[in-house]
Amino acid sequence: MRILAARYLLPVSQPAIRDGALLIDGSRIRAVGPRAALKKGHPGLKWQDLGEAILLPGLVNVHTHLELGALREQVPSGPSFVEWVLSLVERKQNLSWEMYTKAVEEGIAELVRTGTTCVGDVTSTGVSFPGLKKSGLRGVVYREVIGLDDSRAEGIAEMPFAHLTAMQEEARRGPLEVGISPHAPYSVSPRLFLLCRQLQQRLGLKATVHTAESGAEIEYLRSGAGEIRTRLLPATGWGDVLPPILGTTPVGYLHGLGLLDSKCLLVHAVHLTGEDLELLAQNGATVAHCPRSNAYLGVGRAPLKALRDLKVPVGLGTDSLASSESLSLWDEIRFANQAHSGLLSPAEWITMATSGGAQALGLDRETGTLEPGKRADLVALSLDEPGADPNEYLLHEAGPEKVLLTLVDGKPVYERQGL
Ligand SMILES: [Zn+2]
C-alpha cells in the first residue's frame, strides 16, 4: 500500500480537496481525503508527495480509431462528410499492417502522455487490440463490421465472431474489454445489424455505432436520396443497394432493430429529433460527443444541453487523427467549451471527460472517479499557478507538458522523466 499526495485532489465524485491524498492498495483505491488525516490514519506507509500538483481520475476518451493515425495530414481539410468518407476508403487501401501498427503505437503514446487511462477504440483490422493490451490501458476495443449486401451478411459476420472470441479470451481478467461496432445505419444491412446483435448477446459484448452524424445520413434514411445514395454507395460497390427502410431517423431505425440499450454507445449523435432524444433516454443508450471531428466535417453541433437535460450519459471522444488534430482530450474539452459557450462550468467539463466517459463506456463501476473501491486510474498534473482554482486551471492550461504521471490499475503507464 502507498499514499499519493498533492496540493489538490479532484475525486470528481465530490468537490476538490486541498492538500489531498489517496491510499492505493494494489490496483485499487482504498481511501481518499485530506493528507493530514490519511497520514495519521496510516502511519508508516510509503508516501509520495507530488507537491504543487493536481491529482484527478484518468481521462476517458470514448471514441478513437487509433489505426487511422496513419492517415494523419493526408485528408484534405474541410471536405464534405461524403467526400471525407470516400477519401478515407480510398486511402485506407494503401495502408500496410506496419503502418497501422506504428499509428497505434504513436496514438497510445499520445494518450498516456496527456493523462488518458481509458479509451473506446474502433478497429477495422483488429490491430489496436494487441497494442492496447500491451500498453496496460483500460477500455473497450470494438471490432468494426461493415456490409450492405444482406445476402452476404452471414459470411461477413463469421470472421468477427472468430476474431472476437479470440480477443475475448486474451482480454480475460485484463483492463481491456471487447466490443462490436456495426459501423453506421448507411453502411450495415439490417440482417448484418441483427447478426451483430446476436453476437453481442451471445458473447456479452458492448456495442458502438456511428449514428446521426451528418445531414447526408439523415436524408438517406428519410428519403433514400442524397449524396450517400448518389456518390458514396456507387463508389463503394453498393450502388444497387436500396435503403433498408424509408421515413425514419437513424436512432429510430436502430431502435426498430432492437439495438438501443445501456450497452450501446452512439457516436456523434449530432442530428437528433425530440423523439430520438426520448428513445435514447428511455433505453439507456449512451453518447460519444466528438465536437472537433463534427466541426472539421461540418456536420453540425450535437444537442448537448438536451442530452444532459434528459440525463443521457455523454462522454467526450477525439475521434481519429483523420478528422481531428490530436488525441488529447484536453484539446477536446477546450474546443467543446468554446463551441458550447457557457453551457458547462470547468468542473462539469472535467466530469464529462472522466466519470461521464466511464459511464458512456459502461465502465463506471471500475473507473472515472477517485473513490474507495475503484481502480487506481489517475493522472497527476503540475500546478504552475499556486492559488488557481484547480478546475479552471485544468480547463485552460492542462496538456501533455503538465502531465507528471499516469496510472492504470495503480501501475504507471506514463511517468515524466526525473519525477
Ligand atoms: Zn468514428
Mean pLDDT computed over 115-138? 96
pLDDT of residue 70: 87
Dihedral, CA atoms, 305, 310, 311, 315, nearest 10 degrees? Answer: -50
Per-residue confidence at 38, pLDDT binned at 50, 70, 90?
very high
* Residue 168 pLDDT level (bands cut at 50, 70, 90): confident
Q: Which domains does the chain have, with CATH numbers?
A: 2-57+370-415 (2.30.40.10), 59-360 (3.20.20.140)
Ligand 1 centroid–CA 208 distance in Å is 10
- Please write the tens of the pLDDT for every residue from 385-416: 988 999 999 999 999 999 999 999 999 999 99
Whether pLDDT at 198 is above 80: yes
> Do you know the residue count of the chain?
419
For residue 76, pLDDT over 80 is answered with no
| Per-residue pLDDT at 369 | 98
Q: What is the mean pLDDT of the chain?
A: 94
Measured over the CA atoms of residue 218, residue 221, residue 222 and residue 227, the dihedral's sign is positive
Point out the least confidently predicted range of 19-33, 34-48, 196-210: 34-48
Please compute Rg for the chain using Cα positions: 21
Ligand 1 midpoint to CA 318 (Å):
9
pLDDT of residue 78: 65
Positions of E strands within 155-227: 176-182, 206-211
User: What's the rounded mean pLDDT across residues 228-233?
Assistant: 93
Q: How sure is the predictor about 367, in pLDDT bands with cuts at 50, 70 and 90?
A: very high
Residue 123 CA, ligand 1 centroid: distance in Å: 10
Mean pLDDT, residues 32-36 taken together: 96
Higher pLDDT, 170 or 283: 283
> Measured between alpha carbons, how far is 137 from 108 in angstroms, rounded to an integer?
9
Gap from CA of 19 to ligand 1 centroid (Å): 40
Give me the mean pLDDT over the 367-390 stretch.
96
Q: What pLDDT shows up at residue 149?
A: 84
d(CA 241, CA 230): 11
- Report pLDDT for 91: 86
Distance from the CA of 34 to the center of ligand 1, in angstroms?
41
- Residue 391 has a pLDDT of 97
CA triplet 239, 244, 247: central angle to 5 degrees? 115
Distance in Å, CA 217 to ligand 1 centroid: 14
- Averaged pLDDT, 296-313: 96
Q: What's residue 151's pLDDT?
A: 82
Instruction: Compute the distance from residue 269 Cα to the ligand 1 centre, in Å.
Output: 11
Mean pLDDT of 215-230: 94
- pTM, two decimals, is 0.96
Mean pLDDT calculated for residue range 206-220: 97
Nearest to 118 by CA among 105, 106, 108: 108
* CA 391 to centroid of ligand 1, rounded, Å: 28
User: Does residue 77 carry a pLDDT above 70?
Assistant: no
